Amino acid sequence: MVRVVATGVFDIIHLGHVHFLEKAKDLGDELVVVVAKDSTARKMKHEPITPEGMRVELVQSLKPVDRAVLGYEDDMYKIIQEVRPDIIALGYDQQFDERELKDELSKRGIRADVVRLPHLDHDLDGTRKIIRKIINWHTVQQRLKDLEGGGKE
């Protein structure tokens, strides 16, 4: 049985997440997804919109996912040591240096291959793209309302 680990924030689930997890699952028999804690998301990416507990539950509900777990704040390798994957799947945009990651895994006695998955391009493949689209839509709607006189008190 080949166990694969994929990690991420998974804030506002979108097709980029789904495609990443499908490709990660294709690498083995079992997919364990490590969801970043809110504090880690703040440090590494952005203020999460969806709280960590909800993000874990949402990820767990996705078809390719066998198990979703919350990562640790203090040591990102701690959960990897617990899960003991055969493969760690990295998303195309994750900021990990594969060589450094492999070196640290080796130091900790973790024998896992590291695989960088390709980018599957489509319009709304990132949380920030979705947020920008919502903001742009709202801005246009507000301007239309103002032009029609509906925005004045």
The CATH number fitting domain 3-120, selected from 3.40.50.450, 3.40.50.10490, 3.30.930.10, 3.40.50.620: 3.40.50.620
User: Domain spans of the chain?
Assistant: 3-120, 123-153
| pLDDT of 45 | 77
> DSSP strand E in the chain: where?
3-8, 30-35, 67-70, 87-90, 113-116
What is the C-alpha end-to-end distance of the chain, expressed in Å? Answer: 65
CA dist list (Å): 52 to 31, 64, 83 = 19, 20, 19
For residue range 30-80, what is the model confidence (pLDDT) as tens digits? 999 999 999 999 988 788 999 999 999 999 999 999 999 999 998 989 999
